[in-house]
Amino acid sequence: MKRDDVFEFFRRLAEANPSPETELEFGNVYQLLVAVVLSAQSTDVGVNKATRALFREVKTPAQMVALGEEGLKAHIKTIGLFNTKAKNVIALSETLVREHGGEVPADRDALTALPGVGRKTANVVLNCAFGAETFAVDTHIFRVGNRTGLAKGKTPAAVEQQLEKKVPQPFRVGAHHWLILHGRYVCKARTPECWRCPVVDLCAFKAKVLEKGAKPAGVSRERAPAKSVRKAPAARG
Ligand code: SF4
């Protein structure tokens, strides 16, 4: 996608949603970190259902440590992979208490050193909590980047690199939200709703669905997201 078209792409998404935000619910940076760790391989809606009661009770890493692994499991058992996630959340909370004075560090290396926190999770936290220009490539961004030609790549890391290179100001902080929301609600995996897409004329996807109710052609032949998008969050979220 040409440089002018990339600008226009984000200008239109920004016009439709000037203040994009994560759909995860949280009250402070620590709760955001926990919510993002819990959201791997799960929907934001499912995570929010589980964390509403949890976050009324637990607002700090110390309170999470006091709750303990079994107590946490009781709150999050509706979320996929909850056993591993509970273990990671308790371990990362212990590390925050022990090594960071109970605060979430605004530093990618320090974040990815926490149990269960990978580059994607760190990028989300840095972006949503600290306003950093990071591009957390999840399954939606991977798909939208490749379909549109905005950021092509065989792996999330390659797509992230392309976004780093191509997304212009003043869209760099909001880009990750706009792309996720666009992928979640318009450029859907099975049937992209190209007939109502605000960037249809800029998009390079060949199998556009230009009529509501029409069958998508060629979507099933798309390259599957790279393995690391789908892997369990046990090692790296
Ligand atoms: S035109 Fe279709 S494939 Fe392209 S970004 Fe819009 S919804 Fe996605």
My answer on whether 90 and 113 are in the same domain is: yes
Residue 152 pLDDT exceeds 90: yes
pLDDT score for 85: 97
pLDDT tens, residue by residue, 181-195: 999 999 999 999 999
Q: Which among 190, 194, 211 is the best mutation to test ligand 1's pocket, defined by most ligand atoms within 8 Å of the CB?
A: 194
Confirm whether 237 is domain-assigned: no
Ligand 1: which of 184, 200, 212, 219 to mutate, judged by most atoms within 8 Å of the beta carbon? 200
**Cα(180) to centroid of ligand 1, in Å?**
13
Confidence of residue 121 (pLDDT cuts 50, 70, 90): very high
User: Which band of pLDDT confidence, cut at 50, 70 and 90, is reported for residue 215?
Assistant: confident
Number of other residues whose CB lies within 10 A of the CB of residue 10: 22
Distance CA 9, CA 74 (A): 44
* Residue that terminates a domain, selected from 75, 101, 130: 130
CA distance 36 to 155: 21
Co-location of 9 and 64 in the same domain: no
Q: How far apart are CA 208 and CA 71, in angstroms?
A: 48
**Mean pLDDT, the chain, integer:** 91
Report CA(80)–ligand 1 centroid distance (Å): 30
Query: Is 50 exceeded by the pLDDT of residue 227?
Result: no
Q: Give the residue whose CA is nearest to atom 1 of ligand 1.
A: 200
How confident is the model at residue 81, as a pLDDT?
A: 94
* Number of neighbours of residue 110 by Cβ within 10 angstroms: 16
**For range 142-167, the mean pLDDT:** 97
Boundaries of domain holding 208: 3-18+140-228
